[in-house]
Amino acid sequence: MAGHDVSTMKISSKVWKNGEFIDWDDAKIHVMSHVVNYGSSVFEGIRCYETSKGSAVFRLTEHMQRLVNSAKIYRMNSAFSRDQFCDAAVELIRMSGLEHCYLRPLIVRGLDDEKPSFGVNPFPAPIDSYIATWQWGKYLGEEALENGIDVCVSSWTRITTNSMPAMAKAGANYMNSQLIKMEAILGGFSEGIALDDRGFVSEGSGENIFLVNGGKLVTPPLGASVLPGITRDSVIQIAKELGIEIIETNIQRAALYLADEVFFTGTAAEITPIRAVDRITVGAGKRGPVTKLLQEEFFKIIDATRPAPFGAEWLTFVNASDEKKVAVA
C-alpha cells in the first residue's frame, strides 16, 4: 500500500521548455540545480477532460494565473505570461494526441552552467519554465468518488502562512504534504487532514475540505493556511447557483466527526466523499446527498453538458471547432 500511486497510462513524448518543445527524455536538470537543493519551484496541476464535445482543459486561465501568482510571491520572474503558458499547454495537448490528460506546468530555479552558484541565495539561478502532460487516473481511486474514503487527522500541523505562504503552490510546501500523506498511508488511511497552527481544520495533503451541516456548506477560510483551490472555488460557485449557503469559518477538529457529510476537493481528487475520520463514521458512512448533487453538477460542467455557473467560461477546448459547438449548444 505504501508504494501505491495513481495509475499512469500514457505519457506525452514532448515537454514544453522555455518556449520550445523538446523530447521527454531531454527534459532534465542538473543535480546541483537550485531547485534540487533548495526546493525552489512553483507548479500547477490541471486536468484536460474528454468531454461530450471534444477535449477541453478545465479552468486553464485560473490555473495559469495561480502559477504566475505563486512565482511572483517567490520573486521568480518567468519570461512567459499567463496567456503564453495557456497557449503552450493547449499546443502540447494537441501534439501529444491525448484526448484526456493531466498537465504539470512548473517554474523552477535551475543552474547557470557558466556561472554556477550553490548557495541558498536564489537570485543567481536562472528561471526555467516547463509543461509536461500524461494520462492519469482518479487520484484517490475510481471507487472513491462514490463510496468515499477513510481519512485521519494528521499529527503534522499545516505550514503557517507567515513561514511559507500557503497562497503559493510551491514545491517546498509539499514536503509538509508528504509527511501528512505518509503518516496517513502507514496508518491504513487514504489521506490525512492537517490542522493549522491554532488547532483548526486546514486541508488535506493536496485537497481542500468541506463539511455539510443542515444542508449548508462549511469550509475553512484561506487564513487557515489553505491553498486557494480552483476546484474549491468551483464548488463554491456551483453551490451559490444552486442556492446552497456557504459558510467560511474556523472549524474545530471535533466538527469533522459530527458533520452530516465531509468531502475533499482538488484538481486531482475532484470531489471525493469522506466516509470516516479517525475511524469515526461521518453521517451515514457513505456519500451524502449534497456531495452527490455537487458531484453531478460538477461532472456535467466538465463534460460540457451544462454551462458553468453565472455565465463563466471554465472549459478551454483544444480544438477551436469544438469550442464553437459549445457556443451554439
Q: Known catalytic residue: 292?
A: no
Q: Point out the catalytic residue in the list 14, 53, 169, 181.
A: 169
Q: Which amino acid is at 157?
A: T
Pair 129, 105: CB distance under 8 Å: yes
C-alpha torsion angle, residues 127, 133, 134, 135 (rounded to 10): 130
Query: Cα 80 vs. chain centroid, distance in angstroms?
Result: 21
Tally Cβ neighbours within 10 Å of residue 184: 23
Measured distance CA(91)–CA(153) in Å, rounded: 41
- The C-alpha torsion from 4 through 194 and 240 to 229, rounded to 10°, is -60
The Cα–Cα gap between 238 and 161 comes to 28
Q: What is the DSSP letter of 311?
A: G
Hunting for cell 493556511 — which residue is that? Answer: 225
Residues annotated as part of the active site? 169
